[in-house]
Structure 1
């Protein structure tokens, strides 16, 4: 097929999606939207489907591990279904007699979603469920390696749709094989664009001429201060760092430990499988051969990682991740950036203020806006980070990759896409959620005038300035 044929094929998909969305919205009810979202949710959570998707994801992308992907597919979807269960996305959603304004929820239309290879089932499922809940159609553009898992997910969704009489054209993907040209055509034909993954794709989305929601790069930095429960901190970091082989953008990449508890934390870290490495040059040489991340290390199991980094016999046999001592920050010090592997950069700070400075420098280099972690019993320090560090989330005393995208023991919306605000070059600072998939029409009625006198507004200012 020629490039023009490919573009025509995309146009046909978009046309079917638009027609399906119009039918979906016509004579809609909240139940209709809810049923479609439930169908998509069960399509991935059904245990046999979940396992098949996890196995295919690892087989085709070579990233992560099956057991953790099963957990991710289940918990992320279950949490999302909980979040949207009572959400009202159709009809009148607000009515305020005081302002005379009535708000009616409306779909955004056709959603174009670009999804990454790191979560080729969980991320598209999250987007699909949110889109359907809001009355939209959605067209997906998976990464090339993520195509098989995405296609299988759609097959499962179609089977559930057939049970409830839903239109299959509400959920489609760009015809395989994927290409930049096809993705661009999809973006341009959508009503709103949602992009998770590479920053190149985010930038392309923002320049496609349509409203776009992109999310920023992760490079999670965590501070451990002298008041922290060191054993708990080490255990949570180990669980988070190794989950799905560090494929999550919320996986810890740098840990900054204050001097007073540095050695004690290293000892606790060793108990959880974290091996201290002091020869950073050797790790850098193996992790970034030719200046690029080593594919034999990215998102691999511990045994494969240790072989690729030539660490077998140099660290304990039960090592599950490496903590590499370093002090450098910036492009000449790659350990200070995202590593997508079971490798952690370990920094030593004089005190909390110094740790805050180091964290700010790291995030200014990479990961601004995404999130920062703190293990501490002093809550004022979380507030201090929230007021000074360029971040949208301060995760306190939690396993970061489980907490940032929503957890059953915190109040964040369940999501696999974290907005990073202006610091990360994003249009949102929240976790991507159902609210981003609807818009509202306002009915505006006349009310008694509320017009202040000039002195009501400026009297205090005049008194303060002598005006």
Structure 2
């Protein structure tokens, strides 16, 4: 008699085992100093470097998303640049000590973290989340997307082995082997899990909301870019194309909608065309839409992370062979418009507004359209307009005169280098930042007694203090009035 293997039950059991091992490791990690943790981070980053290209190739082959060259760049960013930024920073142990005020701040690891990894940037996101978890002294269990499970397992195996050789507890870094919805649910609900992290997985948002755990969601969404009339038009267009075509549009913070100041509209259009963008007709737009979306309106994963030329050929559009970007013009924002969703491909919407005030309103519409956008970009030389945009937008981060993909992750800006970008729209913790080890610890405040209870509630002394203050104020007023009489 043959028995059916129940993968759900096996996945649930594996989730429990991984969490229990991580829980025991987290207890041991409470005694680790920041110096000990730094050694582990450094050893892991060194171990990754010979495998950067191999891991990028594995990710492209397994997921069929994006480009090898660009994934190499992302992998180097998190395995080389991120560790450099983490050096000499303290997140656990004594962080601040004020001897005069008798106050201490101590960083404490949150414990066990569950990290859910997308198929769009599986290697760079995994490396980033593991490095910051270890820097903050936590245990972490990684749950990869089924489309990238072999690649993620490979990098976790390397990181876990290296960490243990550097002194990290066994079981502190692990990866799910059996992926199922029930197993993921067990990870999210297990009582020993302290924090959930999800990056760019919109389908899991509702589960995060209904879980009893604190969570950080690295958002996605319809991030707009405003091209204002005083900008360097050539550089602005180059930045947008470089950003939106990087890894064939797989980075969630890449520009999704262009809002153009009307006086420079024709100049911007000409510059986009000169640099390799193609403006679609209404008919062509519909053909592309039929390709990118299923009948129910959801995104067709078969066309995620593909080049503009490939998408055009599959949609039977006749475009120049050097086309890098496909652009469609939109008269207004419509929530029912299928193009409102994030396509994760080199495709952009294009809006024109009469002035920066109307552009400001349009950007707010776009940001509020799905309540998931976390980044806004403005290209401008007018500092007053830049400041007004910064004050009014419901967004986690605003970038100025830089490509959104690279500026948001902290490559072309001084934001913290991160592959998990928090969103104002989601999360219980401080999740509007670029996620760093700071978000994976809690702060313990220590206050020494500096006065007796009698001093706090002694009415006579309080009255005397108030009389002294009144006397000082009276003397100052008398001096001011005297100077006025003399003048």
Query: How does the TM-score come out when normalised to structure 1?
Result: 0.90
Name which of 437, 443, 447 aligns with 2:450.
447
Question: CA shift at 1:346, angstroms?
Answer: 0.9
Q: Deviations over 1:221-275 (max 9, x none)?
A: 0000111111001111111010001111111110011111111111111222111
Give the greater-gyration-radius structure (CA).
2
Please identify, of 84-93 and 147-156, the stretch whose mean Cα deviation from structure 2 is larger. 84-93
The residue that corresponds to 1:334 in the other structure is 338
Secondary structure at the residue paired with 2:399?
strand
- Evaluate the alpha carbon distance shift between residue 182 and residue 59 of structure 1 in structure 2; reply closer, same or farther with a 3 A threshold: same
Q: Deviations over 1:269-322 (max 9, x none)?
A: 1222111123233333333241232334311123321212222xx221110111
The answer (yes or no) to whether the contact 2:92–2:441 under 8 Å persists in 1 is no
Name which of 214, 239, 242 aligns with 2:242.
239
Q: Any stretches of 5+ residues in structure 1 without a counterpart?
A: 460-467
State the distance in 1 between where 2:291 and 2:150 align: 31
Please identify, of 391-400 and 288-297, the stretch whose mean Cα deviation from structure 2 is larger. 288-297
State the distance in 2 between where 1:424 and 1:256 align: 25
- Evaluate the alpha carbon distance shift between residue 342 and residue 442 of structure 1 in structure 2; reply closer, same or farther with a 3 A threshold: same
State the distance in 2 between where 1:145 and 1:297 align: 14
State the distance in 1 between where 2:93 and 2:246 align: 41
The residue that corresponds to 2:305 in the other structure is 299
Name which of 34, 37, 43 aligns with 2:41.
37
The answer (yes or no) to whether the contact 1:328–1:336 under 8 Å persists in 2 is no
Q: Any stretches of 5+ residues in structure 2 without a counterpart?
A: 457-461, 474-487
Secondary structure at the residue paired with 2:256?
strand
Q: How many residues align?
A: 448
Q: Does the alignment pair 1:309 with 2:310? A: no
Q: Does the alignment pair 1:84 with 2:86? A: yes
- Evaluate the alpha carbon distance shift between residue 255 and residue 178 of structure 1 in structure 2; reply closer, same or farther with a 3 A threshold: same
Name which of 228, 231, 254 aligns with 1:225.
228
Q: Deviations over 1:334-354 (max 9, x none)?
A: 223322111111111111112
Query: How does the TM-score come out when normalised to structure 2?
Result: 0.87
Secondary structure at the residue paired with 1:102?
strand
**RMSD between aligned residues:** 2.2
Question: CA shift at 1:123, angstroms?
Answer: 0.6
Q: Does the alignment pair 1:318 with 2:318? A: no
- Evaluate the alpha carbon distance shift between residue 35 and residue 203 of structure 1 in structure 2; reply closer, same or farther with a 3 A threshold: farther
- Evaluate the alpha carbon distance shift between residue 156 and residue 5 of structure 1 in structure 2; reply closer, same or farther with a 3 A threshold: closer
- Evaluate the alpha carbon distance shift between residue 402 and residue 379 of structure 1 in structure 2; reply closer, same or farther with a 3 A threshold: same
The residue that corresponds to 1:213 in the other structure is 216
The residue that corresponds to 2:407 in the other structure is 403
